[in-house]
Chain A
Amino acid sequence: MSLLDVRDLSVVFQRRGERPFTAVDKVSFTVEPGQTVGLVGESGCGKSVTSLAIMGLLPKRGNKVTGEVLFEGTDLLKLRPDDMRDRRGRDIGMIFQDPLSSLNPVIPIGVQVAEVLERHQGRERKQALREARELLDAVGIPDPDRRLKEYPHQISGGMRQRALIAIALACKPRLLIADEPTTALDVTIQAQILTLLKQLVDDTGTALIMITHDLGVVAGLCDTVNVLYGGKVVERARRHELFGQPRHPYTHGLLNSVPRLDSIRGERLHAIRGSVADNIPWTEGCAFAPRCDNVVDACLEGPPPLEPTATGGDLRCNNPVSEEVAVP
């Protein structure tokens, strides 16, 4: 049994007097225990909404979530709110993009770590603070005794994200969801945080869903990668296949726009032309068609299906990039 099995997850935002908007469209993927899975795609493709739907954190009103989110066989979408609340932070942890605004500005770091231990493991404050100190130490925060008493604005951005990782992993969840955990950080700090995450999930056996718009982040971390476009999975592959032989024109374009150390000097990076604003609705064809170099007639006649590939992945494309052509 998979640790997490997301089946046909859809999120439709619907406000009175407005057109319904499908942000996540029948997304399915699985996460095995201890595995690291990437969710990749441009801003607005539905990555955050997917993670919030899994966590049951979408607003109560104004949206409809369908499908199944099976966590060790239990459908999280069918849980009573109180039961789901007990699981959050204990079974599934989450890290957000902006470490400063994700911490409560008026509570010292130590107490914020301690509180989650008190909440889920019934620790007394004193004992929880002792454990909090160890946790801060484990995520590489120097001088943890002092940091325990400091407020979020008194420590650096990288330190804050480390503290958030400590909080998210405090109760040893079996799954960690990281939503763009390095986007708000300096480039040098980004690498440190990714290394830390990798080391922690390796050491603890926690499974990780890594959400990012940056394929570079995925490259060193993920076992499997799901590429999202316009709310749908368009390609799924193991890391080596995805980077070695991207089949979907969108994935191909994304890879070509990542600077590579081994690229020929002076060669220009190819950004994907157009923007997400050019999409057509999936109901009319392939959403990527207006931006696609490989477009064929069938692409505008209906949504292409997601089909298994020879290498064990899945692909949603009528005219994929041929297997022979390696990435330059």
Chain B
Amino acid sequence: MTEPTTQAGTPAPRRKDERPDRGNVTRLGDRKKARLEELAQASAGKGGVSLLRDALRRLRRNPAAIVGATIIALFVLVAIFAPLIAPHDPVQRFDELTSRLSADTIPGPSDGFPLGSDELGRDLLSRLIYGSRQTLFVGVFATLIGLAIGVLLGAIAGAFGGWVDNILMRVTDVMLALPALLLAITLVALASRSSQWTVILAVAIVNVPVFARLLRGSMLAQRESDHVLAARALGVKKRSIVLRHMLPNAMTAVIVQATLTLSVAIIEAASLSFLGLGDPDRDRAEWGAMLGDAGVRYFEVRPELAYYPALAIIVVALGFTLLGEAMREALDPKNRR
């Protein structure tokens, strides 16, 4: 029975990289994981420079990518040049506006105040413009921190394999299975004093498992790749194989994911502020807080206080999503033409 048989004709199935995951992981976590594996595989074949170059060529032909990139470019410009663009100081209360505030009126557009006043007599347009800075700041830092920790853990798991990999991946399984916002709320609630950094850290931690899994997946794919085999055939040391061959080529998928993560990070950060879990400083202009605070309280009086920040959040998140999805599509080997 166990005696080896020789049959060159019946090719033995090749080893699968993944052992099947055992039950008790929620469907939500599974869906996220499936998406990550897909993205990791997409970068397996070529990887690196040529892959990115091909992807860029396809991106330029994709209208969704162009729209997304344009939105992001405008958003970044507005954030950087906010002091030049904004007509007023975002925290200054103007007498001509406060004098017209009452329990059931908040002044609309008037001379010098194109979008009118907020609930405290500040210029709404200027606050929206300055709000882009906060959004960009939180989104970028949350993504970068999540990326740094996730890449570190993913690289460790992918490079060492074995029990290190096992433990790290079970932890990310649990984190992926929790709804991101719930996890972020818990983390913010656990912090004794909330500030913008608690929000940034919470959103970052939520994204750690995403990056970790993704990088590990692409590292495993790289480990099976021809150029890694060729490098091993040259006697290249293990450290070099991981750092110079596997890691740089595995990063392509991570770059795409970072773009997608920016949109999620912006929405999550806004959601936390909306729920009052963000920066307690009411002077700081922040779209989520503007929407959750005044927007909700004065919705009957002046719904624009909710509409404008909501619109800003949606448009910017849409920009990142459009570009991210287009990048993912461009990298997918199935779509290569």
Contacts and interface: CB of A to CB of B under 8 A. Distances in A.
B225 A106 contact: no
B8 A105 contact: no
A85 B237 contact: yes
B10 interface: yes
A115 B13 CA distance: 35
Given A102-B227, A103-B227, A105-B48, A22 B233 contact: no
A101 B298 CA distance: 61
Nearest to B224: A59
Given A105-B51, A106-B249, A153-B53, A20 B4 contact: yes
A281 B6 contact: yes
B33 to A, nearest CB: 24
A104 B231 contact: yes
Contact of A115 (B11, B226, B236): B236
A105 B47 contact: yes
Contact of B234 (A88, A100, A101): A88
A29 interface: no
A243 interface: no
Interface in A225-284: 229-232, 275-283
Interface string A15-28: 10011111101000
Contacts of B232: 57, 88
B60 interface: no
Given A89-B235, A152-B50, A153-B53, A103 B7 contact: no
Contacts of A44: 8-9, 11
A102 B234 CA distance: 11
Contact of B5 (A21, A93, A94): A21
Interface string A34-75: 000000000011100000000101010010000000000000
B235 A120 contact: yes
Contacts of B240: 115
A45 B226 CA distance: 20
B34 interface: no
B45 interface: yes
B235 A104 contact: no
A202 interface: no
A106 B7 contact: no
A292 interface: no
A116 B240 CA distance: 12
Nearest to B50: A153
Nearest to A10: B4
A231 B249 contact: no
Given A13-B12, A44-B8, A164 B230 contact: yes
A278 B15 contact: no
A96 to B, nearest CB: 6
B233 to A, nearest CB: 4
B121 to A, nearest CB: 56
* Residue picked from B8, B225, B227, most chain A C-beta under 10 Å: B8
B3 interface: yes
B31 interface: no
B227 A153 contact: no
A119 B235 contact: yes
A86 interface: yes
Contact of B50 (A22, A86, A98, A151): A151
B230 A105 contact: no
B182 interface: no
B87 to A, nearest CB: 47
Interface of B: 2-13, 15, 45-51, 53, 225-227, 229-237, 240, 244-245, 248-249
26 contacts: A19-B5, A20-B4, A21-B6, A57-B229, A90-B235, A94-B233, A96-B230, A100-B46, A103-B227, A104-B231, A105-B48, A106-B49, A106-B249, A119-B235, A151-B49, A151-B50, A153-B49, A164-B230, A229-B8, A230-B6, A230-B8, A276-B8, A278-B9, A283-B3, A287-B7, A287-B8
The 9 A-B pairs with the shortest beta carbon distances in the complex, nearest first, are A153-B50, A105-B48, A89-B234, A106-B48, A88-B235, A279-B9, A230-B8, A101-B226, A89-B235
